[in-house]
Structure 1
Amino acid sequence: MNGRNFKNVAPLTLDSSGKQIAKVEGYSELFVDADVIEFEILVQRTKSSVEEVKRSVFKRIEYVLYVVKTCGIKDENDVKTRQMLGKDGTDFRLSEEVFVVCSDLKMYENISNKLTEKLDESVRISAPKQSHSSDCLQNARERAVQLSVANAFGKASQMARVSAQEVRMALYLEEIESRQEDGSQSAVEFSADVHHKLTTKLVSRVFAVYELLNIFER
């Protein structure tokens, strides 16, 4: 997550009670990477007997699960499996899918690289499906507002310093813009292409009125 702040300059004025005030805006942008990465690992083998095809698939699935765990995915709720047995003529075809959820695209890349290196074409890995959890977006929105408020306060403080004053307190604060720009994400498919992070931009703009105090009147 990273942010960028922008500053505008506004004049010092007096309110209706004669207090010296600063009216300012604060603006921030946050760029947030997806924290939910979902993908599938498919193991498929065809053999002349049920026992033989089960042994062949089990050996590969055992290694798949080992790699998934050693790459940092240890919660059982983040790894699910499904098995399907069928026939190709007189042979038996066994397919087993492993559904994995992790929080970092790097984990996906590590798992994909290790499985591709060690296993044959009977193991296929889908492209990652990326998304943002509700907690991730909520925390990012709060952070964006905090940055906007800090930007507004810094601007008011800068204005106060050049006029031999200091910021005393906020008389009014309002978020006047809150916007989310979602990145694009392609459909899940089995592919060896390089995958780019899904990034969402959050924008926040606040309007604030601060009371100022002459430093010689403290």
Structure 2
Amino acid sequence: MSLQPAPPSRVFMELVPWANLGRENNPIPTLETQPVGSRSHAAKAHPGAREVHVSGAAEVSASPDRAQVIVRVSSTKEAAAEAKKSVSRRLDYITQSLQQQGLQTENVTVTKDIRRVENAYHMEAEVCITFTEFGKMQNICNFLVEKLDSSVVISPPEFYHTQGSIENLRRQACLVAVENAWRKAQEVCDLVGQTLGKPLLIKEEETKELEGQFDDQQIPEPWRERV
């Protein structure tokens, strides 16, 4: 009696990394996107998951985009009408000069005050001017001093940042810090021969905002960000 030939055998083999030995029947699930401030549970449950932790910092600065100047005129007369007339004449000259220089009315605010001082009337007016062009501000202030001399008092300019420029500065610092962290992570992965994937967590750790003056000159406002 002849034996029937045995059917050809088939062998299936799979190469499993050393870190995954003993977990062939329990593969590591794919990491899912987690909200900012939380850790991936898959990464915690499986120490074999490869991660790289880096930090990045950035510092950006911007010069002020606004300046405010106050022009004061005053007069003291025995009659209230004379005090008003003296102030109004110079006040009209100032406002007309500002209009000729192209300043918008919304950037000019005028306040007036009259009060009794002993046996006379004292009237004072203030013109608050907001400038976006600092060269024009200097030219106008010099012009008013030359034309009105000591009858006008001009305050030193007060420089500041608008809220919009500050928000843009904060956003720029954050983006640059994240970019610096990403570059650092990319260099680490290249060094060890790995491929950098999508970020699992981005956390803002520290922010600092500084502003001030030095030698009567406004210095740019730096914004420091660390992620």
| Fold shared by both chains (TM-score > 0.5) | yes
Matched, 1:203 2:224: yes
Q: Which runs of 5+ in 2 are unaligned?
A: 1-45
Residue 26 (1) aligns with residue 47 (2)? no
Task: Give the deviation of 1:70 after TM superposition.
Answer: 4.7
Paired with 1:69 and 1:162, the residues of 2 have a C-alpha distance of: 64
Q: Which of 2, 11, 16 lines up with 2:47 in the alignment?
A: 16
**Out of 184, 187, 190, which is 1:158 matched to?**
187
Cα gap change, 1:54 to 1:16, in 2 (>3 Å): same
**For 2:73 and 2:221, how far apart are their aligned partners in 1?**
33
Instruction: Report the more deviating stretch, 136-145 or 55-64.
Output: 55-64
The counterpart of 2:96, out of the listed 66, 77, 80, is 66
CA 1:136–1:121: 2 relative to 1, 3 Å: same
Q: Report how far residue 75 of structure 1 moved.
A: 4.1
1:112 aligns with 2:112: no
Identity, in percent, stands at 26
Q: Deviations over 1:115-149 (max 9, x none)?
A: 12322110111123334343332222111101101
What CA distance in whole angstroms lies between the structure 2 residues aligned with 1:195 and 1:104? 19
Query: How much does 1:44 deviate?
Result: 2.0
Specify the code of the residue in structure 1 equivalent to 2:149: D
Helix, strand or coil for the counterpart of 1:24?
A: coil
Tell me the equivalent position of 1:126. 155
Q: Which amino acid aligns with 2:226?
A: R
- 2:170 maps to 141
Q: Distance in 1 between matches of 2:80 and 2:171?
A: 56
Over the aligned positions, Cα root-mean-square deviation in angstroms equals 3.3
1:43-68 Cα offsets, whole Å, 9 max, x none, are 12356765555444333222322343
Q: Secondary structure at the match of 2:128?
A: strand
- How has the CA–CA distance of structure 1 residues 70 and 170 changed in structure 2, closer, same or farther, with 3 Å as cutoff? farther
Matches of 2:186 and 2:95 in 1, distance apart? 56
Per the alignment, do residues 48 and 36 of structure 1 end up closer, same or farther by CA in structure 2, a change over 3 Å counting?
same
TM-aligned CA deviation for residue 91 of structure 1: 6.4
| Count of residues paired in the alignment | 182
Q: 1:167 and 1:64 mapped to 2: Cα distance?
A: 64
Q: Per-residue deviation at 1:42?
A: 0.5
Q: CA deviation at 1:178?
A: 1.1
**TM-score normalised over the length of structure 1:** 0.66
Q: Could you tell me whether the CA contact under 8 Å between 2:212 and 2:218 is conserved in 1?
A: no
